[in-house]
Structure 1
Amino acid sequence: MSNNKQKKLNDIPASVLDLVHILSGQTAADSFPNSLDLARHVEKWGFERYWMAEHHNMPGIASSATSVLIGYIAGGTSSIKVGSGGIMLPNHAPLVVAEQFGTLASLYPNRIDLGLGRAPGTDQQTAMALRRNIGSAGEDFPTNVKELQQYLSADNQTSRVRAVPGEGLNIPLWILGSSTFGAQLAGILGLPYAFASHFAPASLQVALKVYRESFQPSEQLQEPYAMACVNVIAADTDEQAIHLSTTLYQSFLNVIRGKALPLQPPVDSMASLWDANERYAVNQMLRYSFVGSPATVKEELQAFLDETQVDEIMVASAMYDHQARLRSYEILSDLFKPAGKTA
């Protein structure tokens, strides 16, 4: 990677991960228009892609029917790539995923990404309700990815089971992960890899190393392409950003406490909300969270890029106030390479 040592933020694209948060006191119906409004703004500001993630049985996240929401966002925008970050493949038959994304790619040509994960995106009881049996709990993920690839390939036309629409549409597949398992699989299959460092930072460096070392060129991708997701809360001043970030910290505090709650408004201080152990645990999970003014965020994101040499950065922003979230992404848009100018 020696030829990339001078890589700067404005050399690479930036993208958006929207968890479609449900705000405290609101409903999912309130969240969807905010997501579309954000997508329209980040498209205008030059972001590369807009992804949503499959979660289930979570009162604070409205993206359970991920493919439906992708259609909603793609239909309300014109050029930004829209996709899944990701579809949790163990919850679905590969044929159904091929048909759904084949339909999306037919409606919105060259704009649909299919990111795949092997976790259930929920608890075990809900996973059982989704699948009816837990089965291999993700161990057959590589087999299911290959089956999905087969349905989407042009040479599947002689098969007795075909994805219509879907077959031959060359929908870009991504492997998502938070460990070395997905990294190695993405490398072996020659697919782009997206790492969930916004909540699972510990394995980022080793996963990137495994991915790059195991990469084998494929029809889709000739060289390794790695994207990392981080949290960013940007505002006009450090003080504003720190205040807004307490929503993110409350969200992860609820995660480690096993509480499923809607997204909470910011507070003046976290001090009375957590003890020392909880604070440590949350900060470990949120290691790659960049909070501050434009200058602060630029410096910290550049250090992250220096450390990882990723090819793209995806940004999640758990913020209660919609206008503040828009402003955060607007600040970011000045730091990165605009879409449409990628090599």
Structure 2
Amino acid sequence: MNIKKDFKQIPLSVLDLAVILEGHSPADSFKNSLHLAQRVEALGFERFWLAEHHNMASIASSATSVLIGHIAGGTSVIRVGSGGIMLPNHAPLIVAEQFGTLASLYPGRIDLGLGRAPGTDQETARALHRNDQAAFRFRDTVRELQLYLSEDNIDGVVRAIPGEGLDIPIWILGSSTDSAYLAAALGLPYAFASHFAPQQLHQALKIYRDNFVPSDQLKRSYAIACVNVIAAESTEKAKLIATSMEMIFLGILTNSRRPLQPPDENFTLSPEAKAAMKQFMTYSFVGDSHEVNASLTQFVEETQVDELMVVSHIYQHTDRLMSYEILKNVQNNI
């Protein structure tokens, strides 16, 4: 019997990209990320994930496993992981060893989320020595990685030390239906990137649930949806803060990427850009506590996701901390 999911009851988590702010350095981003992780841990958030991207002026989380170690080392109970590691960029053995090391240092706290995209442009993908066919072998490389992390590989010719036999949850990430089929077939938890690719969310969730095959890792399907949330004391302030997010999405659309800009009350979009942005930002919830509560309650009712993961592109660190605090207080009816 399926129990209806409710926003007030499901876990809340954070996706962080170690966003670089205009006028600041990556070192500042790392300090802010750690401070945010410590704050959301105290608030009771479930997990804190970091994402692999390359050659982006606004994102400092390129060395994802290194940054995961930094965040895990500065926190104590929150789960820390990748949202995700772009597996085709790496040899599965290297990933197994890196995350085996992390799981050995921080037992019971490390998640390994895997994606099949390069996390960058084609030129940078080539600079990463990425095989053009690697994405088509994603299922095989996931299986190879599972083997290295398995106790059954103890007699293998190639072994991941550390890594072998450790309980490191593997997640499949996606922004299309392809990943939903794979996560279901392998019996793995699934996280969908609806914060920037909302169009196929409902279809992907249905495919995943309808086709899920229980595994040793997971007996029942488990799905996360990632959304953008910017909460503030007033709707007006939230909308102003959100202009930074709008500018970063506009930069993606126009291939004019730069560090996250301060809020700009004079920022406007052309009708064409506004229409395109609407596609990107379908699941972007901006407002005061009442509006965010209503929007997320409806979202969870419609999707029945098991967990919400939130990303917040906010320029002022204090405003970002406040946004997550408001979000958690809304969930707790405070």
TM bracket (short chain): over 0.9
2:56 aligned to 55, 58, 76, which one?
A: 58
Partner SS, residue 77 of structure 2: coil
Contact 1:231 1:317 in 2 (8 A): yes
2:322 aligned to 312, 322, 327, which one?
A: 327
Partner SS, residue 11 of structure 1: coil
Q: 1:20 corresponds to which letter in structure 2?
A: A
In the other structure, the counterpart of 1:4 is 3
CA separation in 1, counterparts of 2:132 and 2:311?
32
Contact 2:230 2:242 in 1 (8 A): yes
CA separation in 2, counterparts of 1:205 and 1:111?
29
Shift of residue 135, structure 1, vs aligned partner:
3.0
Segment drifting more, 262-271 vs 72-81: 262-271
How do 1:299-338 and structure 2 match up within 5 A? 299-336=294-331
CA separation in 2, counterparts of 1:184 and 1:335?
34
In the other structure, the counterpart of 2:161 is 164
CA separation in 2, counterparts of 1:113 and 1:155?
21
CA separation in 2, counterparts of 1:137 and 1:318?
31
Q: Which runs of 4+ in 1 moved over 4 A?
A: none
TM-score in terms of structure 1 length: 0.95
Deviations 1:254-293 (A, max 9, x none): 100001200001111332xx31111111121010000000
Shift of residue 3, structure 1, vs aligned partner:
3.5
1:266 aligned to 258, 263, 266, which one?
A: 263
Shift of residue 137, structure 1, vs aligned partner:
4.2
Unaligned runs of 5+ in 2: none
CA separation in 2, counterparts of 1:108 and 1:336?
28
How do 1:12-161 and structure 2 match up within 5 A? 12-131=10-129, 133-161=130-158
CA separation in 2, counterparts of 1:94 and 1:44?
34
CA separation in 2, counterparts of 1:335 and 1:160?
52
Identity %, equivalent residues: 61
CA separation in 2, counterparts of 1:81 and 1:21?
20
**Root mean square deviation of aligned Cα:** 1.2
Q: 1:256 corresponds to which letter in structure 2?
A: L
Contact 1:4 1:309 in 2 (8 A): no
Shift of residue 134, structure 1, vs aligned partner:
2.9
Partner SS, residue 8 of structure 2: helix
CA separation in 2, counterparts of 1:69 and 1:336?
29
CA separation in 1, counterparts of 2:287 and 2:152?
50
Q: 2:42 corresponds to which letter in structure 1?
A: K
CA separation in 2, counterparts of 1:8 and 1:146?
34
1:277 lines up with 2:272 in the alignment: yes
1:294 aligned to 269, 289, 294, which one?
A: 289
> How many residues are aligned here?
333
Q: 2:316 corresponds to which letter in structure 1?
A: D
